[in-house]
């Protein structure tokens, strides 16, 4: 009988006759060989070592009373080899799947943390992207924190890509761990998915001419809105689009800097209490110096919506077309 256990530590629950342990990339591969109770270790036991397909070196004690032990170990080696092909150093991670979503201009980034596997995890990813497609068309899946993808999870990603493109949008991948990249290569899907090294490069790809994304408003005036309040951003998006502006929204200073690097804006609307690291704050202050800026102030979100909107449109017109005043 062979029991193969993949765990972060080796804690046998019962007496074992053979113990094989190997650390691979900070991850323990622990295996227990339970030999028949009639077999005992005799005085003729000696320590031996065999190569594991030039990848692992498995050490064990072979007993003269256990002639079938070598064959048993070879079966175990084949089992572990199958795990190695999928990079066992990365198998595991958090159970379940959490999805953290944020907007970066016209792009929506979904940061996946956990395992994309058959069941509720795959279904939650599919349902979440379907919900985003109600009003978003440019989606990036950040996979840097994904510990494992099974065939069902990969199928869900393919279906999600298909649904997004059928909605005249696109879905890109970024920050792929090595084990996820291997899965795509083994599945011949590297040419199906558009992959990028970082979030910034994935966002920039959506701003290239001809990229599948939300259709920009045909105007030369582009406005970037920065606010921590998602409701305020939703209101600004609809208000300014209705007035004919090409609107981009985000809630973080670091994402604002990404957008400023990948495209041009005519006006920047900044909400209150926007905080970040000192380095990011300094970079933001330097970047905003070259733009027309309107600070919304803390009272904007609590004023009468009609009055606040009308007043803001007047301010924008004055900043973008000063000669018309």
Coil, strand, or helix at residue 143?
strand
Helix spans in 99-245 (H) = 120-132, 151-166, 178-186, 199-206, 230-242
pLDDT at 174: 97
pLDDT of residue 70: 53
C-alpha–C-alpha distance, residues 188 and 32, integer Å:
35
Strand 27-33 and strand 18-24: the pairing is antiparallel
CA distance 148 to 175: 14
* Alpha-carbon span 234 to 127, nearest angstrom: 21
Residue 29 CB neighbours (<10 A): 22
CATH fold label, 222-324: Rossmann fold (3.40.50)
Contact between 45 and 62 (Cβ < 8 Å):
yes
Q: How far is CA 280 from CA 107, 204, 253, 325, in A?
A: 21, 19, 7, 36
Distance CA 255, CA 228 (A): 12
CA distance 194 to 215: 20
H helices within 27-150, ranges in order? 69-85, 120-132
* Average pLDDT, 10 consecutive residues per value, the chain (325 residues): 37 37 39 37 38 37 48 50 39 72 95 94 95 94 95 93 94 96 90 95 91 60 93 91 91 95 94 93 94 92 89 92 68
- DSSP state at residue 95: S
CATH architecture of 97-206: 2-Layer Sandwich (3.30)
Task: Return the HEC string of 219-250.
Answer: CCCEEEEECCCHHHHHHHHHHHHHCCCEEEEE
CA distance 214 to 51: 55
Closest to 236 in 3D by CA, of 221, 228, 247, 244 = 247
CA–CA dist 31, 10 (Å, integer): 9
pTM of the model: 0.66
Q: Are strands 222-226 and 246-250 parallel, antiparallel or unpaired?
A: parallel
Q: What is the pLDDT of residues 79-113, one digit of tens each?
A: 443 443 343 334 444 568 999 999 999 999 999 99
Kindly report, residue by residue over 177-202, the tens digit of the pLDDT.
Answer: 999 999 999 888 988 999 999 999 99
DSSP H helices in the chain:
69-85, 120-132, 151-166, 178-186, 199-206, 230-242, 253-262, 278-288, 305-320
Helix axis angle for 199-206 and 253-262, nearest 10°, is 50
113 Cβ contact partners less than 8 Å away, ≥ 6 residues apart = 94, 97, 98, 99, 100, 145, 146
Specify whether the CB–CB gap between 199 and 101 falls below 8 A.
no
Give me the residue spans of the domains in the chain: 2-89, 97-206, 222-324
pLDDT of residue 325: 53
């Amino acid at each position: 009988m062979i029991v193969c256990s993949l765990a972060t530590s080796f804690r046998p629950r019962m007496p074992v006759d053979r113990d094989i342990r190997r650390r691979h990339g900070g991850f323990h591969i622990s295996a227990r060989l339970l030999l028949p109770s009639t077999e005992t270790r005799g005085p003729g036991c000696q320590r031996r070592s065999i190569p594991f397909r030039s990848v692992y070196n498995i050490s064990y004690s072979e007993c003269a009373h256990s002639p079938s032990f070598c064959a048993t170990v070879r079966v175990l080696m084949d089992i572990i080899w199958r795990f190695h092909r999928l990079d066992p150093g990365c198998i595991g991670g958090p159970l379940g799947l959490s999805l953290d979503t944020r907007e970066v201009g016209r792009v929506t980034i979904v940061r996946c943390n956990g395992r994309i596997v058959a069941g509720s995890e795959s279904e939650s990813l599919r349902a979440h992207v379907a919900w985003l497609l109600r009003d978003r068309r440019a989606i990036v899946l950040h996979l840097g924190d994904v510990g494992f993808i099974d065939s069902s999870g990969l199928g869900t990603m393919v279906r999600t890509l298909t649904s997004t493109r059928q909605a005249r949008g696109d879905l890109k991948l970024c920050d792929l761990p090595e084990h996820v990249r291997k899965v795509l290569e083994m599945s011949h899907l590297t040419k199906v998915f558009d992959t990028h090294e970082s979030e910034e490069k994935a966002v920039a790809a959506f701003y290239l001419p001809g990229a599948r994304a939300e259709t920009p408003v045909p105007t030369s005036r582009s406005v970037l809105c920065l606010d921590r309040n998602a409701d305020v951003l939703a209101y600004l998006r609809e208000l300014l689009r209705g007035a004919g502006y090409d609107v981009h929204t985000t809630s973080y200073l670091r994402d604002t800097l990404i957008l400023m690097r990948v495209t041009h804006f005519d006006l920047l609307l900044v909400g209150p209490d926007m905080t970040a690291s000192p380095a990011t704050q300094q970079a933001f202050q330097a970047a905003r110096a070259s733009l027309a800026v309107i600070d919304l102030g803390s009272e904007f979100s609590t004023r009468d919506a009609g009055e606040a909107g009308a007043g803001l449109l007047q301010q924008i017109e004055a900043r973008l077309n000063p000669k018309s005043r």
